[in-house]
Structure formats: structure tokens, C-alpha cells
Chains A and B, each alone.
Chain A
Amino acid sequence: MPPTVLELEPSSTSRATSGYDDWMFATPDCPASDYARLSHFDLTIYSELDRLAALKPNWDSEGANRVKPEIIKAARDLISALPRSIKAKVKVPAVVPMRKGNLQFEWHDGPKTLELEIENPAIIHYLKWHSEAGIEEEEVRLIADTETVTGLIEWFVQG
């Protein structure tokens, strides 16, 4: 039996023209493409977000709500939007579910704490705290304000 010969146009199999890279590296819903490009920082946090998404109501045995899916998505988008340079500098935060269905990222270093709570899909509520330096700053910002979030993380790294 003779082998089957596929007669394909070169353009349909060439990596440059086939659209493979568009699919592999740019399709936002493709987990394979996502994970291929992610840093340790991203992967660890996304894994934690997956864990939080799977929590059932009453996960704390004291009546906590499950973490809202829209909060998980907003948290994922926020992490995704952070510059690679800052992700390379800062340690991975604790990803903490909250009983009301929100979550927050927490960095701790002795007297210094940074909390970024995803209060709703559009709003971030942060606490910048350094007891020895007398810093107690709490504010609310749009989650799209990546510059402010990056600045807060820079403060934690350098402050």
C-alpha cells in the first residue's frame, strides 16, 4: 500500500505563516500558551488563585463565603498586568482568601507589611504599613492603576 502524500501549500505548514504562533502565544484562553510564557511569580500566584477558586463555602468552618469568580479573574488580570521587572524583584506574596468573598495579596517582612485587597473587580484597597518607620497608609484605587500598584510593590522591595 503506497504511503499517503499530503499535498499542502507551504504557507499552510510554515510556522511563519500558518498562524501557529498566534495560537500558541497570543490566544488568551489557551492554557498551554499561558503557562509556556509564565514566570515563577505568575505560576505560583495562578496556582494559588486556582486553589482559592476551588474553596467551598464555609472553608474556614466559621461560615466564610466562597471567593467570588469575578474577584479571582480581577486578581489574575492584575498580576498579568504587572511589569516583568517588578515580578523579578519581589518575592511571591501570600494569596489570602477573605471571609466575605474577596482576596488579598500580602507581603510581610517584620514591621513592614503590604496588603493589596481586591475589593471588587474595579477597586483595589491597599495598606502600606511600617510600624518602625511610622508609615500607616491606607487608600482605595482603581485596579487599572497599575502604576500605583507597581509603586507600592517597589516600596515593599526597597522600603
Chain B
Amino acid sequence: MDQGGQKGPPVPPGEILYRFVTDPSFWVSKENRPSSSLFDDPPRVSVNVASLTTVDKCRQQLVRKLGRPKGGMVSFNCGEARQLGFDARHEPEQDNNAHAHLYCDQDATAKERKKNAQRLVRRCVIEIQPQFSRPLLS
């Protein structure tokens, strides 16, 4: 969980962002949606900028780079996330120009952080359906 130093440029608000779901823990199977823990993770999580990649490329990344063939991917609007206190910055990686970080609001009080994550997961759209075989409880 490298926290890095200087932030990259802001991702424009009209962009769509992709977030991988790599572990069953992040997925509420019976409701077929992400858990807020997918985003409730200061200081930041990795995302991809949709206009700089494709769903197919992301699928390959999920399988080949991350080794999660049963994992999934959700999308959400960058501007909406920013309104909820998340700040997306384009921070490419050596082998992935689409990579960005979604910074959680470090100033969010203890009364806002989980609400913001919950609001964001409820806005997510499934791009790659997770195929986890071990459903979690509840």
C-alpha cells in the first residue's frame, strides 16, 4: 500500500472510472453489488480511466497481472465521486497508462467516511461480473 508522494493531475469530472473487485470480501453476492469496503480505504485505491483503456484490456489485467480470473469490475462517474469527497488523480504506471488513484477524503470526519463509501458503491455499475464461487455470509 504505497502511499506515494506528489499527486498527479485531476481526472476530468466527465470521465468514467473502473475499479477492480479482486476478492469476494468486496462483493455482496446476494445483492450482486460491491461492499463499501471496496472504497472505504484511506488514503487511496487504484482505478483505471475508461477513456484510456477498454473493458477487454481491463479483463486481461485482472487475469494476467492480478491473477484474479474470477474477479470483477465496476464503474462510476468521476465527477459524482468527487462530489462525495473522493479525488481521482491520473497517475500512470509503467505498464498501464490508464491507471489513476482515487484518494479518499482525508478530512472526512468519522461521521462521513463510511457514508461516502456507501453512497459511491450504490452508484456503481457492473462492467465485469465477478464469478466468485465462495459466497460470503449475509
- Give A contacts to B, CB under 8 Å: 44, 48, 59-65, 91-100, 104, 106-108, 110, 113, 115, 117, 125-127, 129, 131, 136, 138-140
Contact = CB atoms under 8 A, between A and B. Distances in A.
B41 A108 contact: no
B23 A60 contact: yes
B137 A62 contact: no
A127 B118 contact: yes
Contacts, number: 92
Nearest to B68: A61
Contacts of A129: 115, 118
A44 B56 CA distance: 38
B114 A138 contact: yes
A125 B113 CA distance: 10
B95 interface: no
Interface of B: 1-2, 20, 22-23, 25-26, 28, 30-31, 35-37, 40-42, 45-46, 66-68, 110-115, 118, 122, 136-138
B46 A62 contact: yes
A63 B1 contact: yes
Contacts of A97: 23, 25
A61 B122 contact: no
A96 B36 CA distance: 10
Contacts of B122: 131
A138 B1 contact: no
A98 B118 contact: no
Contact of B111 (A64, A131, A139): A139
B138 A94 contact: yes
A82 to B, nearest CB: 15
Contact of A94 (B28, B46, B112, B118): B28
18 contacts: A48-B137, A59-B23, A60-B23, A60-B26, A61-B67, A62-B20, A94-B35, A94-B136, A95-B137, A96-B25, A96-B37, A98-B41, A99-B1, A100-B41, A100-B42, A115-B118, A138-B111, A138-B115
Contact of A91 (B25, B136, B138): B138
A108 B1 contact: no
Given A44-B137, A110-B31, A115 B114 contact: yes
B137 A125 contact: no
Contacts of A115: 36, 114, 118
B17 to A, nearest CB: 15
Contact of A92 (B22, B31, B138): B138
Given A63-B1, A107-B138, A110-B31, 13 more contacts: A59-B23, A62-B66, A63-B2, A97-B23, A97-B25, A99-B45, A100-B42, A106-B37, A108-B138, A115-B118, A125-B113, A136-B118, A139-B111
B110 A139 contact: yes
